Chains A and B, each alone.
Chain A
Amino acid sequence: MLRAENLTKRYRQGDKEVVALLGFTHAFPQGATAVVGPSGSGKTTLLNLLAGLDLPTEGGVYLGEIPLHRLSEDERAGVRLRHMGFVFQQWNLIPTLTAWENVAFPLLLAGWPLGKRRARALELLEGVGLLKRAHHLPSRLSGGEQQRVALARALALDPPILFADEPTGNLDAEAKEQVAALLFKAGKERTLILVTHDLELARRAERILHLKGGRLLWEEVPSPNP
């Protein structure tokens, strides 16, 4: 279980102080949680803090009993590798590596041998319907395909937590639907934290957190789609 306690992030810009996130407290249960809010409301900041990519000015993040905010940079990297997966809005993939090599990258970091890496990567690519694209470089994949490869990579080490920051932001309707379907499927038995300003997408999550001006306004449980 991922828990945020009184999470606060302030940025100093010259002599002005920007409060990107203020006193955010929430426990993320299993299943999909969408975080929505207007641009600049602190969504990305929240995701960065929850994933240990950045450190809070105040408050803390707990992964079970582990206080993420107290760990060193490299320790947090280790936690991310084993417990978290990421899908960003774009430029997710390492451009010089083929699709399967991208998927296998976390496995490389985890020290898997080549044969096992390849087998696991191909299995994951099959899961997102891209087995035929395994040996293509990212530049030869469409935007939707790139996001599916990124999702496959996020699942490589079967992490309990999945982060996605505007994963469908740059996609057309059809590709968006493919990625969304795969994402929510993967999020079912995981903790999926989906940052988006797309309310339609957010409504497919089990909970929606509404952010504004760096504060958590309210938590919505959307009614199931008609």
Chain B
Amino acid sequence: MEVFHLVLRNLLARPVRSLLTLLGVLIATASMVLFLSFGEGLRRALFQELSRVGPAIQVVPEGAEGFAFSAYPEITPEALRALEEAGKALGVKALIPTLLLARGGFDPKTGFFFQGLPPGVSPSLLYPGLRVRESRLLPSAQGAVAGAKIAQRGGLTLGSPLRLSPKVALKVEGILEESGGLADNLLFAPLPALQAVLGTKNVGAVLVALRPGQKAEEVARALEGAVPGLKAQTTGEVMRFAERALRISDLVRFGISLVALVVGGLLVANTVMMSVYERTREFGVMRALGARRGFIFRLVVLEALFLALLGGVGGLLLGSLASAAINLYTLKEVGLALSAITPRLALFALGVALGLGILAGLFPAQQASRLPVVEALGRV
């Protein structure tokens, strides 16, 4: 604590330089935090969503692992029939063919995502806990049911027309309560209507709901064996797949922010090195008075550490602010919090700042404490 007081005095004696260095570290940390927060946000949204999904297995064409909803539907009626038979033989609870259709471009303001469901299948089978706010949960052959957020964004009310193609038009027949999940941003429509829009009899994916006690992995492997060319993924597999992809993107984003971090570290090293050089005589006097070399070493390392940690904490705060601002925007636009500052991200950021401080301080500290006393005293 006492040495820390000396450190503080020295930093405050050169306020502009200290502040600039602090800002450098702060911005570097903030940019890293923000970059990494997107991975954390995606991860959180994804896992929340997946844990909410009812069916435990999702069957997609091979090579379309992960989230291939928006791809052109490739599962043929024959493959679907074979799948249904295999499913019956395995005793699964339900097989739900589905497909996802985007309309109106990718701008979330004007874009609509339709999920097709076979007649008679309720959206709440896919997203358990879904409740109706207005009218009905199950759309008729010419109707669609809108999630809470998409209804609000698109200004949809009961009876609003939805023109999917020159030939196919649906009417909004029900509006759902907000669930906090993906369903809020979807329009549920009859599968045949969506197939008509695309001019196909294919479906994009088949969701498989299991009976209690059935093992997802085993059923998935059996389904794959029964119908070649399809891939059956359990929720766990999807999570692992997503986790792998996210980790790679984490690495890439960390790599990008590393540039800023290295610059921040060099800033600290430069500041501390300069202050060490300017204080050579001062250190000489301290040692003549009886300070041991470790005392000088600590003085210098602490200075670097303090700059880096303060910058790190500030960067974390700034990054959190920016993350909150981005979420405010994305929540409004796409109904999803894209960025998340998780405790482990905060810890990681502080750890990086700490490591930066130590790295930046070690060399100047070594220099300062190694110099022979008489030489240090000789330099004014």
Contact residues of A between 9 and 37, Cβ < 8 Å to B: none
Taking a contact as CB atoms under 8 Å apart, the answer to whether B2 and A77 are in contact is: no
Taking a contact as CB atoms under 8 Å apart, the answer to whether A96 and B13 are in contact is: yes
Contact residues of A between 60 and 99, Cβ < 8 Å to B: 73-74, 77-78, 80-82, 84, 86, 88, 90-97
Binds A, one of B292-300, B316-324, B325-333: B292-300
Nearest-neighbour CB distance to chain B for A33, whole angstroms, equals 19
Contacts of B13 in A (CB 8 A): 95-96
Contact residues of B between 169 and 212, Cβ < 8 Å to A: none
Contacts of A110 in B (CB 8 A): 290
With an 8 Å Cβ cutoff, the count of chain B residues facing the other chain is 24
Given A91-B380, A96-B9, verify A77-B291 contact (CB < 8 Å).
Answer: yes
In the bound assembly, the distance between CA atoms of A78 and B291 in angstroms comes to 8
With an 8 Å Cβ cutoff, the count of chain A residues facing the other chain is 29
In the bound assembly, the distance between CA atoms of A209 and B293 in angstroms comes to 33
- Pick from A48, A80, A91: contact of B281, CB under 8 Å: A91
Contacts of B121 in A (CB 8 A): none
Contacts of A54 in B (CB 8 A): 372-374
Contacts of B122 in A (CB 8 A): none
Taking a contact as CB atoms under 8 Å apart, the answer to whether B289 and A80 are in contact is: yes
Contact string against B for A residues 151-170, beta-carbon threshold 8 Å, 1 for contact and 0 otherwise: 00100000000000000000
Taking a contact as CB atoms under 8 Å apart, the answer to whether B9 and A97 are in contact is: yes
Q: Does A100 count as interface, using CB distance less than 8 angstroms?
A: no
Contacts of B9 in A (CB 8 A): 96-97
Contacts of A51 in B (CB 8 A): 288
Nearest-neighbour CB distance to chain A for B13, whole angstroms, equals 4
In the bound assembly, the distance between CA atoms of A54 and B285 in angstroms comes to 14
Given A94-B285, A97-B9, verify A78-B290 contact (CB < 8 Å).
Answer: yes
Contact residues of B between 269 and 298, Cβ < 8 Å to A: 281-282, 285-295
In the bound assembly, the distance between CA atoms of A91 and B373 in angstroms comes to 15
- Pick from A82, A95, A114: contact of B282, CB under 8 Å: A95
Contact residues of B between 359 and 380, Cβ < 8 Å to A: 372-374, 377, 380
Contacts of B6 in A (CB 8 A): 96-97
In the bound assembly, the distance between CA atoms of A108 and B13 in angstroms comes to 20
Contacts of B157 in A (CB 8 A): none
Q: Does B10 count as interface, using CB distance less than 8 angstroms?
A: yes
In the bound assembly, the distance between CA atoms of A108 and B5 in angstroms comes to 11
